[in-house]
Structure 1
Amino acid sequence: MQRKLVVLLKGYPRLSETFIAQELLGLERAGFELVLVSMRRPTDKKRHPIHDEIRAPVHYLPEYLHEEPFRVLRSLVLGFAKPGFGAAVKDFLRDLRRDFTRNRVRRFGQAAVLAVEWPEKADWLHVHFIHTPAAVGRYASRIIGLPWSISAHAKDIWTTKEWELREKLADARWTVTCTRAGFEHLSDLSAHDRGAVHLSYHGLDLDRFPPFGAERPLRDGSDSIGPVTILSVGRAVDKKGFDVLLNALALLPADLHWRFEHIGGGDELRKLKALAAKLGMDDRIRWHGALAQQEILAHYRRADLFALACRVSDNGDRDGLPNVLVEAASQKLACVSTSISGIPEMFTDGVNGYLAAPGDPAAFAQALERAIRDPARRQAIGAAAEAKVRGEFDHRQSIRQLEALLARPSDALSS
């Protein structure tokens, strides 16, 4: 029997969250009828082609309660008659005492709207991200008395307080997360039922990233006319470590000829360009801004090396296993990155990648130099990375895991 599934998202569609769109399309192809509910409207100027393949309708909650006061008030009045409204209010007030913020009030208002406008015949709520979306999902689930589940990723795990993680994990039927580091952390917080947390790598839709059959030139940085092209893809935010990468490039020996290309937007892009100018190398860098997936694929295939200097930010934010690393590896492109979160789950230093300590420009420069000076080894490492992606990171495996979890009985939650 086909099941109707409501998926709650922080924002939709988002260019930087193609792994979520890939999952949504996979679930539709598996026979689920989806209804998408987003807490934010789109802000990206570009749209990924995969979003046009997803048939599910999208509904938007009020991003700020004061923007749609009558909708929110109506939902609170009608929600009062729902079976779990009182229990949800108790949860909210207990949370508000520990997190006395406007954001907490907003989440309860959004949850009331979701509960009152709940799609007909839907029998499950699945929430992407365990921070603010899971707060909305938890209250809404309590109000209407239906089961829910969570996909936890990276920032949402590491920037949410432990008391809140524990309570969400206890209330949700199950939680999936995409790195072993995240899995171990959430399992420890869900000690009463460790089996409710599941490890599920996102993987790639390998049909969109077919094998790269051409041979890359064996550039070793010795030719000023044919420099080594180093590519990086990602939003200009602190956890991506682009300032570390720029400082590492500045430390490379003067006899190495290279150029750097960056793809992505982000709040810190202006600061990074200023840093590149300060380091005296802005003439060796090209900033492309956000690009569509097919354009990025072409850049993977033209580059000699991929670099991403991920780190843990001061607030605990960090990447899990960045999809761009897996994408680059799928094209036999050797990757230089850091040993945090899920990255060592994909790459082993010197075997199928180059890893350096996070936040250390000198160590990252050494890894870059190793990769640049030995192009034959670099290509062998790229080939080994591609083999791992195609053998272990096919997204269809994660879709099968979700299918199995969603096939469990959906009896109503007790209040």
Structure 2
Amino acid sequence: MSASPRIAVVLKGYPRLSETFIAQELLALERRGLALEIWSLRRPTDAARHPMHAAIRARPVYLPEYLYQEPLRVLRGLAAALRRPRLPALLGQFARDLARDPSASRLRRLGQALVLARELPDTVTHLHVHFLHTPGSVARYAGLLTGRGWSFSAHAKDIWTTPDWELREKLAAAAWGVTCTRDGLARLDALGPGRTALAYHGLDLSRFPAPPPPRPPRDGRDPGAPLRLLCVGRLVAKKGHDDLLDALAALPPDLHWRLDLIGGGELRAELEARAGASGLAGRVTFRGALAQPAVVAAMREADLFVLPTKPAPGGDRDGLPNVLMEAASQELPILATAFAGTPEFLVDGAHGVLVPPGESAALATALTRLAAEPALRRRLAAAARACLVRDFSEAAGIDLIAGRLAASAGLPMPERERTACAS
């Protein structure tokens, strides 16, 4: 009897602490009975792992991150490609892409695609890729060479930094795609109308504890009980940590607070220097990248969650950060910016407080107000969690993706997972 069809999921890097939404999706798809393989363009750089990564059955296969590191593997991929009838079509597409993007990265994606095409088992009948930029190129080239269909999940950076011509052609070539915000969907629909569906990541509430008991009504007036602020996000420009530090430096001197900043990234040294120059070093703790249990524990101890995302130089921007939903799961009040997908989850004044992106003065004003009003924080946090439970569980998005993947791979339609959400 022949083996059941499998789905290859192509990722830029795996596992990654910052991509809990991908791990959550992989685990949910496996629980719906889909057989997955994970193919990653890069090896992990995070020392820690989320518990979800251990629960995912599929073990990652790593493509050559740089072609010179595994020349024999690349040559075997090339030799196999020379025997495939679809090679001329691939080379034609690659030549057109290279003319518009004459980069080493483009050559590397071709080499990775050749390896992927050779090493994919015959049981793999469909490819699905997370992120439309470089991973999308690898999946597209491998699919074109082998005759397999491919689909995509687009998220944030890939939508906003990939050139229009490339997005337009990938949207036309893919069997189907999803994205996680209406903001991103609008851009993709403008380039390829009707090719992409909206599928919020949502949150699997069964993985999270019930909210903690009501938090103490700290308001920052007592130096012995400072307001506990928390920010979780990679230390990159689009997260707006520089605006947060500037806002904290502008707070009234008699407002007592502490900030825990969780996340690793390229801007850590710069942000630590900024905090020191602003006289904040003693009140800001850089905790680095942490696994999800430690993040949730920090959320349960905090009084206010702050995430001031904004557009980065070059156009990179967030989608709908899952960490906002994680904060809401713990009834942690949220102060964020009215940017990207955040307003699709939080309504200003109803579920949290939203300020314009890039405006540290507005952020400071909102921080001062929320510090002084513990009752307002409690009301907003309770409303955000109610919205999360009602409208942003993971089930609807996973049902859509699982159904489409099953149809594309030639598998029976999966049943919905029957798990109860924490209440």
Shorter chain as normaliser: what TM range?
over 0.9
Partner of 2:127: 125
- With the length of structure 1 as denominator, give the TM-score of the two structures: 0.96
Partner of 2:140: 138
Partner of 2:335: 336
Deviation at 1:216, TM superposition (A): 0.5
Q: Does 1:33 align with 2:35?
A: yes
- Check 1:331–1:2 CA distance in 2 against 1; reply closer, same or farther (3 A cut): farther
Amino acid at match of 2:389: R
Q: Tell me the secondary structure at the aligned position of residue 355 of structure 1.
A: strand
Query: What are the residue-to-residue correspondences of 1:124-273 with 2, within 5 Å?
Result: 124-191=126-193, 194=194, 196-273=195-272
Partner of 1:357: 356
Does the aligned pair in 2 maintain the 1:220–1:372 contact within 8 Å? yes
Amino acid at match of 1:62: P
Partner of 2:310: 311
Q: Tell me the secondary structure at the aligned position of residue 49 of structure 2.
A: coil
Question: How far apart, in 1, do the equivalents of 2:169 and 2:331 lie?
Answer: 42
Question: How far apart, in 1, do the equivalents of 2:121 and 2:19 lie?
Answer: 24
Question: How far apart, in 2, do the equivalents of 1:242 and 1:108 lie?
Answer: 36
- Check 1:213–1:410 CA distance in 2 against 1; reply closer, same or farther (3 A cut): closer
Deviation at 1:83, TM superposition (A): 3.0
Question: How far apart, in 2, do the equivalents of 1:203 and 1:38 lie?
Answer: 24
Question: How far apart, in 2, do the equivalents of 1:213 and 1:307 lie?
Answer: 19
- Check 1:13–1:409 CA distance in 2 against 1; reply closer, same or farther (3 A cut): closer
Does the aligned pair in 1 maintain the 2:231–2:260 contact within 8 Å? yes
Deviates more, 1:339-348 or 1:391-400: 391-400
Deviation at 1:409, TM superposition (A): 4.8
Query: Over residues 293-342 of structure 1, what are the superposed CA-to-partner deviations in whole Å (9 max), with x where a residue is unaligned?
Result: 11111110110000011010110001111111110011111111111110
Deviation at 1:352, TM superposition (A): 0.5
Q: Tell me the secondary structure at the aligned position of residue 39 of structure 1.
A: strand
Partner of 1:379: 378
Residue ranges of structure 2 left out of the alignment (5+ in a row): 411-423
> Structure 1 residue runs of 4+, over 6 Å off?
none
Query: What are the residue-to-residue correspondences of 1:79-118 with 2, within 5 Å?
Result: 79-118=81-120
Deviates more, 1:92-101 or 1:395-404: 395-404
Deviation at 1:45, TM superposition (A): 0.9
Q: Tell me the secondary structure at the aligned position of residue 282 of structure 1.
A: coil
Question: How far apart, in 1, do the equivalents of 2:207 and 2:294 lie?
Answer: 12
Q: Does 1:391 align with 2:393?
A: no
- With the length of structure 2 as denominator, give the TM-score of the two structures: 0.94
Amino acid at match of 1:373: A
**Cα RMSD between the aligned structures?**
1.3
Query: Over residues 342-376 of structure 1, what are the superposed CA-to-partner deviations in whole Å (9 max), with x where a residue is unaligned?
Result: 00001111111111111111011111112111110
Deviation at 1:2, TM superposition (A): 5.3
User: Identity, % of aligned pairs?
Assistant: 52
Amino acid at match of 1:310: T
Question: How far apart, in 2, do the equivalents of 1:2 and 1:78 lie?
Answer: 24
Does the aligned pair in 2 maintain the 1:83–1:145 contact within 8 Å? no
Does the aligned pair in 2 maintain the 1:2–1:31 contact within 8 Å? no
Which of 63, 66, 76 is equivalent to 1:64? 66
Question: How far apart, in 1, do the equivalents of 2:98 and 2:280 lie?
Answer: 50
Deviation at 1:408, TM superposition (A): 2.6
Deviates more, 1:261-270 or 1:148-157: 261-270
Partner of 2:26: 24
Question: How far apart, in 2, do the equivalents of 1:407 and 1:44 lie?
Answer: 32
Does the aligned pair in 2 maintain the 1:152–1:177 contact within 8 Å? yes
Does the aligned pair in 2 maintain the 1:239–1:312 contact within 8 Å? yes
Query: What are the residue-to-residue correspondences of 1:319-334 with 2, within 5 Å?
Result: 319-334=318-333
Question: How far apart, in 1, do the equivalents of 2:72 and 2:237 lie?
Answer: 39
Question: How far apart, in 1, do the equivalents of 2:332 and 2:288 lie?
Answer: 21
Does the aligned pair in 1 maintain the 2:212–2:300 contact within 8 Å? no
Amino acid at match of 1:20: I
Amino acid at match of 2:58: A
Does the aligned pair in 1 maintain the 2:17–2:290 contact within 8 Å? no
Question: How far apart, in 1, do the equivalents of 2:153 and 2:401 lie?
Answer: 10
Amino acid at match of 2:356: A
Does the aligned pair in 1 maintain the 2:7–2:409 contact within 8 Å? no
Count of matched residue positions in the alignment of Structure 1 and Structure 2: 408
Residue ranges of structure 1 left out of the alignment (5+ in a row): none
Deviates more, 1:80-89 or 1:227-236: 80-89
Partner of 1:14: 16
Question: How far apart, in 1, do the equivalents of 2:5 and 2:373 lie?
Answer: 53
Does the aligned pair in 2 maintain the 1:219–1:226 contact within 8 Å? yes
Amino acid at match of 1:271: E
Q: Tell me the secondary structure at the aligned position of residue 70 of structure 1.
A: helix
Question: How far apart, in 1, do the equivalents of 2:191 and 2:5 lie?
Answer: 30
Q: Tell me the secondary structure at the aligned position of residue 283 of structure 1.
A: coil
Deviation at 1:57, TM superposition (A): 2.5
Does the aligned pair in 1 maintain the 2:305–2:335 contact within 8 Å? yes
Question: How far apart, in 1, do the equivalents of 2:382 and 2:396 lie?
Answer: 22
Deviation at 1:27, TM superposition (A): 0.7
Question: How far apart, in 1, do the equivalents of 2:11 and 2:94 lie?
Answer: 20
Does the aligned pair in 2 maintain the 1:80–1:86 contact within 8 Å? no
Amino acid at match of 2:248: L
Q: Tell me the secondary structure at the aligned position of residue 89 of structure 1.
A: helix
